[in-house]
Amino acid sequence: MTRRDMLLAAAVASLWGFNFVVIDWGMAGIPPLLFVAIRFAVVSLAVLFVPRPQTGWRAVVGVGLFMSLGQFGLLYTSMALGLSPGLAALLLQAQAVLTIVIAACALRERPTPPQVVGVGLGVVGLAIVAFGRGGDAPAIAVVLCLGGALSWAIGNVIARRAGTVRGAGRLGSLSLTVWSALVVPVPALALSFAIEGPDRIGSGLAAFGWSATLSTLYTAVLCTIVGYAIFNELLGRNPSAAVVPWILLAPIVAMASAAVLLGEVPTAAESIGGVILVVGVLVTGIRPRPAPPTARIERERQATRLSA
């Protein structure tokens, strides 16, 4: 990657990391599911400028329900219940580990040895974070955030099965993200009515001031539309293995900004478990070296003899 691309990748990771603090700041007094509905109503306006993804509507709906509604509905709710922005950003990284497991089951993608090791490290890291969390992080909030990571992972597998990025070029995942946002506002609003109630919705809309407006614009425009546009452009110019690890800066930015702006210093267990989780995610991205041609030829000969 060029120095310019590395700076762009770091900028996107910083946008996505600071996103958690902005959500926490803007959601004060706003019911979380209502906040999700408003965010994705703003994102969906971009369909006027982004071409429709070259995939079936089933994939668009699946990604909208799992990667957007499920992930952010559970994330926002967990943060409303007291989960700190830094810990939320860290726990969401479990999606990388869960994606490998789900893809192995649903797509019959056999995990590589580094991926097996990475999944193991990720599980250990998550266990340390979960059991060593600070007293201000309720267990239900941790569970809901991990549920958001699971929903994100399912959305990843749906998108991979659809093969959208390969079919639509560099704009593939951006167009899928934008068009799948159309699926979110109505179900999110219905869930808000059912779970949060009309009274909380009314008070939330009345409390929707400039902080909530700026938070919505930041998450919808900068993080979703601009962030994905830059990220996909980077993927178009560089190998995925060179770009994706930069996103692991997001939880670091989230935890640092939460510590500076909100005074939320992670516990020792959260820090240790977070480091192990991030290392596990990095390990899953290691690609085994291809076997030398002579070794492959010898294996093919042995397979031929056995079949004969």
Contact of 21 with 85, CB cutoff 8 Å: yes
**CA 12: distance to chain centroid?**
13
The reported pLDDT for the residue numbered 170 is: 47
Contact of 1 with 235, CB cutoff 8 Å: no
The reported pLDDT for the residue numbered 259 is: 85
Residue 94: Cβ within 10 Å count? 24
The tokens 């959305």 sit on which residue? 155
Instruction: Say how far apart CA 213 and CA 217 lie, in whole Å.
Output: 6
Q: Where are the domains of the chain?
A: 3-307
3-class DSSP string for the chain: CCHHHHHHHHHHHHHHHHHHHHHHHHCCCCCHHHHHHHHHHHHHHHHHCCCCCCCCHHHHHHHHHHHHHHHHHHHHHHHHCCCCHHHHHHHHCHHHHHHHHHHHHHCCCCCCHHHHHHHHHHHHHHHHHHHCCCCCCCHHHHHHHHHHHHHHHHHHHHHHHHCHHHHHHHHHHHHHHHHHHHHCHHHHHHHHHHHHHHHHHHHHHHCCCHHHHHHHHHHHHHHHHHHHHHHHHHHHHCCHHHHHHHHHHHHHHHHHHHHHHHCCCCCHHHHHHHHHHHHHHHHHCCCCCCCCHHHHHHHHHHHHHHHC
Look up the pTM and report it. Answer: 0.81
The reported pLDDT for the residue numbered 212 is: 94
The 10s digit of each residue's pLDDT in 96-151 is: 788 888 888 887 777 788 878 887 887 888 788 777 765 567 889 989 999 999 99
Low-confidence ranges of the chain (pLDDT < 50): 164-171
Contact of 149 with 95, CB cutoff 8 Å: yes
